[in-house]
Amino acid sequence: MFDINKIREDFPILKRKVNGYPLVYFDNAATSQTPKQVIDCIVDYYSNYNANIHRGVHSLSQEATDKYEQARNKIRGHFNAARSYEIIFTSGTTHGINLVANGFGSFLKEGDELIVSAMEHHSNIVPWQMLCERTGAILKVIPMDENGELIMSSYKELLNENTKLVFCNHISNALGTVNPIEEIIQLAHNVGAAVLIDGAQACPHLKPDVQKLDVDFYVASAHKMCGPTGVGVLYGKEEWLNKLPPYQGGGEMIAEVTFEKTTYADLPHKFEAGTPNICGGIAFGAAIDYLNSIGMEEIMAWEHELLEYATKALEEIEGLRIYGTSKHKTSVISFNIEGVHPYDIGTIVDKLGVAVRTGHHCAQPIMDYFKIPGTVRASFAFYNTKEEIDVLVAAVKKAHLMLA
Amino acid sequence: MTIKEIQQDIVDEFSMFDDWMQRYEYMIELGKSLPLIDDAYKTDDNLIKGCQSKVWVHAELSDEKLLFTADSDAIITKGIIAILIRAFSGHKPQEIINADTAFIDEIGLKEHLSPTRANGLVNMIKQLKMYAIAYQTQLN
């Protein structure tokens, strides 16, 4: 059973005060908080079996290796990948995207086309722009509408036999829109294009089934899923990962090295040069265990309740506009109040202990679309409460009074 | 009045307030009373980098004294730049170069002094001083 009070007990940070007020943490879309189960796992690693992996013959190294590979397998299970070597540990979503973008360059020629959605995070735009500059490929954009939904008829028109790769987020970080990725993937496959889905914002809320989606690449970050920062995952279909050249050279990723020639290690090690974030990978596994102990469906249901509650309360504030009004959205509310700069609202509510994000959320094209400098973004997690939303609403009202 | 004396005046004014909310309300008032920059000067060249909100500052020399005008699209930022302008505008470039900025701390805006802070108070001070250095070079 979903017991919010019991869940909150798991998060030590939720007890602290900020600027003299109890912390209300609504910046979950940027980074989630860490439950003691994950913190304990980190302490356990450094206290009991900290060692380098895959190399040592000694017991400690073997223990660390086993735990790291167990974590990989947990992640495999969570994403329902067919094989654990299709799970590549990365430093985060951005790293995963760059890894694929860099390798994909060897398949592209001038005039090939890549398709991106209009609501991407900069990290899912810039690496591809760099790739286009390098290869002469062309970047095309799926437009969005006033509700913050992709215009699928335009997407269909963009697809053709020159399309080589489509990349799109599963859920928009700035708007919360859940994109119809099943359809996006299928349509791309119909013209022979591969698809990369940025799942950074989706994985805190739902469990993607990479086999059912038939997606070619799926990337996510641990730190948005109650795990530590600096670790993430790239899922890739085996045939794609075999085709892609290595991203970084170094130890761990080689089979044999002479000065004449190096042969690369098998998957997944081919893409994991150097000593990885061992503790981070293991703690990522602990975070996934934690999320599953609560249940992704229960998490989604509670967050949906919070979203509806907050949307209704915020909409009652005069002059407040919410950006991203898709029926399919997660617990993210981006808003502005007429005549007030989002930065000002963020500053005042912070003084009242409420942590929200302000700015363009690394998604400037979305802000340009709505012709605004940025928004205030409140993003809720399963450990948040309706009482905290009441605090946010009161803080926003107070800010509005002061600033108007 | 010297820069130091003006800064002391500002510190005295802010010391009348008991809590942050009153201080911010006063800062917002100061922002609203800021003499607006001429639209012609609201150019990208006059934009201060490193701020989440936009801040434009224009400087001109008149009678060997440096006059600043500024604007921002965020009102708290405008309040902060208004305080800086009150302290620095109308003084000789060398005086501005030599002025210290400890009064920011004393009026309870220390949190805005962090170089990583998105509103870029540090960048604003740097920009005002840069103007002073540039005009001082002209005068030399």
Chain B residues within 8 A of A348 when measuring between CB atoms = 24, 76
**Active site (annotated) includes residue A41:** no
CATH code of residue A342: 3.90.1150.10
Is residue A289 domain-shared with residue A299, that is, in the same domain? no
Interface residue B81 vs chain A (CB under 8 A)? no
Is residue A47 domain-shared with residue A113, that is, in the same domain? yes
Chain B residues within 8 A of A355 when measuring between CB atoms = none
Domain boundaries, chain B: 3-139
- Which band of pLDDT confidence, cut at 50, 70 and 90, is reported for residue B119? low
Interface residue B29 vs chain A (CB under 8 A)? no
Is residue A259 domain-shared with residue A197, that is, in the same domain? yes
CATH of domain B3-139: 3.90.1010.10
Name the domain boundary from A267, A293, A319: A293
Is residue A9 domain-shared with residue A75, that is, in the same domain? no
**pLDDT (0 to 100) of residue B20:** 86
Is residue A55 domain-shared with residue A21, that is, in the same domain? no
> ipTM exceeding 0.90?
no
Q: What is the mean pLDDT of each successive set of 10 residues along chain A, which is 404 residues long?
A: 95 96 97 98 98 87 95 98 97 95 92 94 89 93 95 98 96 95 98 97 97 98 98 98 89 80 86 93 98 97 98 97 95 95 93 93 88 94 98 97 89
Is residue A117 domain-shared with residue A258, that is, in the same domain? yes
Is residue A161 domain-shared with residue A265, that is, in the same domain? yes
Alpha carbon of A340: minimum distance to chain B alpha carbons (Å): 7
**pLDDT (0 to 100) of residue B99:** 93
Is residue A140 domain-shared with residue A98, that is, in the same domain? yes
Chain A residues within 8 A of B24 when measuring between CB atoms = 348, 351, 402
Name the domain boundary from A227, A262, A293: A293
Domains identified in chain A, total number: 2
Interface residue A372 vs chain B (CB under 8 A)? no
Chain A residues within 8 A of B55 when measuring between CB atoms = none
**pLDDT (0 to 100) of residue B97:** 95
Name the domain boundary from A278, A293, A308: A293
Instruction: Note whether B54 contacts A373, CB cutoff 8 Å.
Output: yes
Which of A340, A351, A359 lies nearest to residue B52, judging by beta carbons? A359
- Which band of pLDDT confidence, cut at 50, 70 and 90, is reported for residue B116? low
pLDDT at B110 over 80: no
Alpha carbon of A230: minimum distance to chain B alpha carbons (Å): 20
One-letter identity of residue A73? N
Residue from A21, A340, A344, A367 whose CB has the most chain B CBs within 10 Å, to mutate:
A344
Domain assignment of residue A390, given as a range: 4-30+295-403
Alpha carbon of A332: minimum distance to chain B alpha carbons (Å): 21
Is residue A22 domain-shared with residue A61, that is, in the same domain? no
Instruction: Note whether B53 contacts A347, CB cutoff 8 Å.
Output: no
Q: Give the mean pLDDT of B122-139.
A: 90
Instruction: Note whether B73 contacts A341, CB cutoff 8 Å.
Output: yes
